Amino acid sequence: MRFRIFEELEMVREIQSILSPEFDFDGVVPWGRRLSEYRAFFALDGMADVGPVLDAGGGPSSFAAEAASAGVRVVAADPIYRIPGATIAARFEETAVAMHEGMRRAAYRFDWRYYGSEDAVHRLRREALALFLADFEAGKAVGRYVPAALPKLPFADGAFRLAFSSHLLFLYGDRLDFDFHVAAMRELLRVAGEVRIFPLFNLDGRPSSHLPGVVEALRGDGVRCALREVPFEFQKGARRMLVAWRG
């Protein structure tokens, strides 16, 4: 038992060392979005024909839970899925406090038209966490939540029609370097026919400096890439997703 607790703490430290904590705080960042937000990030009209779909770095988002309820074949992959749901939940309150402070300091960097207020953002995060936790154990048992970390995923070539990654690649570009981004995109394109990434800005609210080089490297591989407008903006100016697909 003591060993398992030690192992769990080690895992949390490992994830902390991978992640750039949003707004300068330490933690696993259990801060997940809802399906409605993913639909806006990735310009999805409906969910009926998107599966099988991968949510890479899904964290405590309720995307997988809600999409599965809607009948979509979906898998979420994230290193935090090795941690019990109760531990993820316990970190949520700390995260919420730190997020409140971060958003207060950086409010001017956000466009509030989509969410309306900071309270609405927090309400959505709590809804997402509750939906995720309600699905986590049962979903993990049927393979919906897979503990895995980019740039190496335990899935077969072409296992998914579509892969999403929200609020991980490019956003954490100060911690995850250029080579990681190229390797992660190649891995996503190995397992999925089409890959969509949002946002393409760093945490500091500026366009990711990795993006042009990543697109150039992928095009060099024969991958088709497009930057497409989406019906969502929170970080001011971050209105585009990257769509990449094998030619």
Residues that bind ligand SAM (CB under 6 A): 15, 18-19, 29, 31-33, 56-59, 61, 78-80, 149-150, 166-168
**Of residues 147 and 224, the one with the C-beta less far from ligand SAM:** 147
**Of residues 180 and 245, the one with the C-beta less far from ligand SAM:** 180
**Main-chain dihedrals φ then ψ at residue 163, nearest 5 degrees:** -125, 135
State the nearest-atom distance from the C-beta of 108 to ligand SAM, in Å: 21
**Residue 132 near residue 62, CB atoms below 8 Å:** yes
**Of residues 79 and 85, the one with the C-beta less far from ligand SAM:** 79
How far apart are alpha carbons 70 and 187 in whole angstroms? 27
Residue linked to tokens 């077969």: 156
State the nearest-atom distance from the C-beta of 247 to ligand SAM, in Å: 25
**Of residues 90 and 219, the one with the C-beta less far from ligand SAM:** 90
**Of residues 41 and 51, the one with the C-beta less far from ligand SAM:** 41
State the nearest-atom distance from the C-beta of 88 to ligand SAM, in Å: 9
N-to-C CA span, the chain: 50
How far apart are alpha carbons 5 and 189 in whole angstroms? 36
State the nearest-atom distance from the C-beta of 150 to ligand SAM, in Å: 4
Q: Is 201 helix (H, G, I), strand (E, B) or coil?
A: strand
State the nearest-atom distance from the C-beta of 145 to ligand SAM, in Å: 11
- Smallest CA-to-CA distance from 32 within 68, 78, 74 is with 78
How far apart are alpha carbons 202 and 173 in whole angstroms? 6
Helix (H) or strand (E) holding 242: strand 240-246
